[in-house]
A and B are shown apart, each in its own frame.
Chain A
Amino acid sequence: QQPVQSPQAVILREGEDAVINCSSSKALYSVHWYRQKHGEAPVFLMILLKGGEQKGHEKISASFNEKKQQSSLYLTASQLSYSGTYFCGTEELTGGGNKLTFGTGTQLKVEL
């Protein structure tokens, strides 16, 4: 079942912060985060495996609340290079099969 992402789109000025949320109705093995720039391949950012786990990638970090089946991606002090569409992908514990199911994405635009 497809995870739900919010917001759908966000516009930031350089240096501002943003949070992108991902929610599933299913119990999860893991949550993945990818970023896709227009016309390019999605690029892996990070994977979160445990409840309450947090990880970081430059100034981008994420958390995973296993009990609530929710993950949040935190972008701090945003840079122009952060612009793109962010997708969360979830792996379900049961019934999801052998696949990573992606959300509909959050379009992020960072402006000067």
Chain B
Amino acid sequence: NAGVMQNPRHLVRRRGQEARLRCSPMKGHSHVYWYRQLPEEGLKFMVYLQKENIIDESGMPKERFSAEFPKEGPSILRIQQVVRGDSAAYFCASSPRGPPNEKLFFGSGTQLSVL
């Protein structure tokens, strides 16, 4: 049973470009979470999605960031018009059921670098 798959592993973008980060949850998991991690800092919650629905986006910046988890295919975190401050590691996690009290399985992350 493959784990949570994220791609690309590393993504380099110039300021103003778009970044698309993909996350395929573990088989049988319909709940996906996105976290952002800056160097030497903790994991900051961004958004929680269940198939085709955004459940909690309280951690998402109001502009330029969006997320989706379609019925078919991976979850996508999209950052439009990237700025240097968007440089970070973005982790996706999945669980078979929703909160509370469900452990999360994390992917290896996407390291976004904005030049």
What residues of chain A have their CB less than 8 Å away from a CB belonging to chain B? 2, 29-30, 32, 34, 40-44, 47, 49, 87, 89, 91, 97-105
Contact = CB atoms under 8 A, between A and B. Distances in A.
Interface of B: 4, 33, 35, 41-45, 48, 55-56, 58-59, 91, 98-101, 103-109
B103 A98 contact: no
Given A32-B103, A97-B56, A98-B55, A104 B108 contact: no
Contacts, number: 63
B33 A99 contact: yes
A100 B104 contact: yes
A10 B56 CA distance: 35
A83 to B, nearest CB: 16
A40 B107 CA distance: 9
- State the majority secondary structure of interface residues on B: loop
A43 B55 contact: no
A100 B35 CA distance: 10
A47 to B, nearest CB: 6
A24 B69 CA distance: 31
29 contacts: A29-B99, A29-B100, A30-B101, A34-B106, A40-B108, A41-B4, A41-B91, A41-B107, A41-B108, A43-B106, A44-B103, A87-B43, A91-B99, A91-B101, A97-B56, A97-B58, A98-B98, A99-B48, A99-B56, A99-B58, A99-B99, A100-B33, A100-B45, A100-B104, A102-B42, A102-B43, A102-B44, A102-B45, A103-B42
